[in-house]
Amino acid sequence: METLVYSQCTTHGGSVLKSGGGGAVSVLGFPLQHLKRHTLPGSKKKQSFGAIKASLAKTEVALLRIGTRGSPLALAQAHETRNKLMASHPELAEEGAIEIVVIKTTGDKILSQPLADIGGKGLFTKEIDEALINGDIDIAVHSMKDVPTYLPEKTILPCNLKREDVRDAFISLSASSLAELPAGSVVGTASLRRKSQILHRYPSLKVEDNFRGNVQTRLRKLNEGVVQATLLALAGLSRLSMTENVTSTLSIDEMLPAVAQGAIGIACRSDDEKMASYLASLNHEETRLAVSCERAFLLTLDGSCRTPIAGYASKDEDGNCIFKGLVASPDGTRVLETSRKGSYHFEDMVSMGKDAGKELLSRAGPGFFDS
């Protein structure tokens, strides 16, 4: 198996991907000069993620191999993980100690169909999990909202990095919010969760639900007029240092986020104590508990790519857990919501998630998701 190896690039302030041919190819996309620039209130300019370039080389055996998808966002998350490991463990800060291995997943290969049609769980994780189990990589970095509720046998997910902003960003060249879009305007999204909530609140809008591709691809399609607006996770834009493209940010009440949105999860083999120890040093417990609550809700509902489900657990000013959950019919004509409040402890939060899921299952009744 060919591996793509990353090393520090001191001349460009970023990172360089070495693989096997002579030339260098940027995979970060283009600068989107024609998009309107918007700055989030109170936001600070982040350091640029830097260009990632491809060429060919071999290095000595790494101490730790990180498996990831190859999209710019996935690579940003892998680099964030690498940097945190280097900062926490001196032996991993040596040159060549950490290798980033890019793995193409089913979700990356099939772009012509909606996710719901090719669907099922694990579209963006299956091949990475297989590489982990087979020993081709040592840890796997995932966007937690892509991770199925059942982990593959022989793997554990002991670490969540500190969560980014969970909200969705509205991006448009012609309107400042969903409410300002004229009737008949087309909003692009690959998410049934977003589609159902958009149509529920704004039935006069249209939704292009096969609006797929990485962040750069979706912004290019918007710039070309394929759609009049799109919604993207604010967390992804932040990790790519691309928040200047955000027109406005949707509140939690207007657009409840996907389960585990904004959270990065890192898995390892269940019998690899050394990697589990490395990951334990990076874990952000408040995030892990929130994600556990939300995933318990999703597991109870047994949600699939064809099921619009949203859930969000957060800590209030008194230190309690506030959970909000939602299920919707795909066409947005029916939306059922619920909420819970309890102590911010693992058992209580998992129980809250399960209980909220059971309530919505009961209220939805048979056939709810068939519309």
Q: Does 267 lie in the same domain as 338?
A: no
Note the pLDDT of residue 255.
Answer: 97
294 within 8 A of 353, measured Cβ to Cβ: yes
Q: What are phi and psi of 169, to 5 degrees?
A: -100, 135
Total of domains in the chain: 3
Please indicate, yes or no, if residue 272 is contained in any of the structural domains: yes
Please indicate, yes or no, if residue 14 is contained in any of the structural domains: no
Please indicate, yes or no, if residue 118 is contained in any of the structural domains: yes
3-state SS class at 337: strand
Looking at residue 111, which CATH number applies to its domain?
A: 3.40.190.10
Q: Does 120 lie in the same domain as 240?
A: no
Q: Does 273 lie in the same domain as 304?
A: no
Q: Does 142 lie in the same domain as 67?
A: yes
Low-confidence residues of the chain, pLDDT below 50?
1-59
Q: Does 268 lie in the same domain as 148?
A: yes
Q: How much is the pTM?
A: 0.80
Count CB neighbours of 184 within 10 A: 9
Note the pLDDT of residue 211.
Answer: 86
Using H for helix, E for strand and C for coil, what is the string for 151-179? CCCCEEEEEECCCCCCCEEEEECCCCCHH
Q: Give, for 130, the enclosing helix (H) or strand (E).
A: helix 126-133
Q: Does 361 lie in the same domain as 226?
A: no
Please indicate, yes or no, if residue 40 is contained in any of the structural domains: no
Please indicate, yes or no, if residue 74 is contained in any of the structural domains: yes
Q: Give, for 233, the enclosing helix (H) or strand (E).
A: strand 229-233
| Cross-strand partners of 142 | 265
Enclosing domain of residue 334: 285-370
Dihedral (CA of 110, 112, 118, 124) sign = positive
Q: Does 141 lie in the same domain as 269?
A: yes
From CA 34, how far away is CA 293, in angstroms rounded?
Answer: 41
Backbone dihedral region for residue 138 (phi beyond 0: left; psi -120 to 50: alpha; all else: beta): alpha
Q: Does 117 lie in the same domain as 205?
A: no
Q: Does 276 lie in the same domain as 154?
A: yes
CA angle 298, 301, 306 (to 5 degrees): 85
Catalytic residue (one of 108, 129, 146, 209): 146
* Strands ordered across the beta sheet of 335-343: 309-315, 320-328, 335-343
Please indicate, yes or no, if residue 254 is contained in any of the structural domains: no
Note the pLDDT of residue 40.
Answer: 44
Note the pLDDT of residue 126.
Answer: 87
Residue 368 is given by DSSP the state G
From CA 104, how far away is CA 18, in angstroms rounded?
Answer: 17
* Cα-only R_g, the chain: 20
Q: Does 272 lie in the same domain as 137?
A: yes
Note the pLDDT of residue 368.
Answer: 78
The string of pLDDT tens digits covering residues 302-343 is 865 578 999 999 999 999 999 999 999 988 999 999 999 999
Q: Does 310 lie in the same domain as 275?
A: no
Note the pLDDT of residue 34.
Answer: 37
Q: Does 274 lie in the same domain as 226?
A: no
Q: In this structure, are strands 5-9 and 309-315 parallel, antiparallel, or unpaired?
A: unpaired
The 8 Å CB, 24+ separation contacts for 283-286 are 283/158, 283/159, 283/160, 283/161, 284/160, 284/161, 284/162, 284/163, 286/162, 286/163, 286/315, 286/344
Count Cα neighbours of 364 within 13 Å in the Cβ-side half-sphere. 27
Known catalytic residue at 138: no
Note the pLDDT of residue 38.
Answer: 41
Residue 195 is given by DSSP the state H
Token code pair at residue 127: 């091949």
320 within 8 A of 343, measured Cβ to Cβ: yes
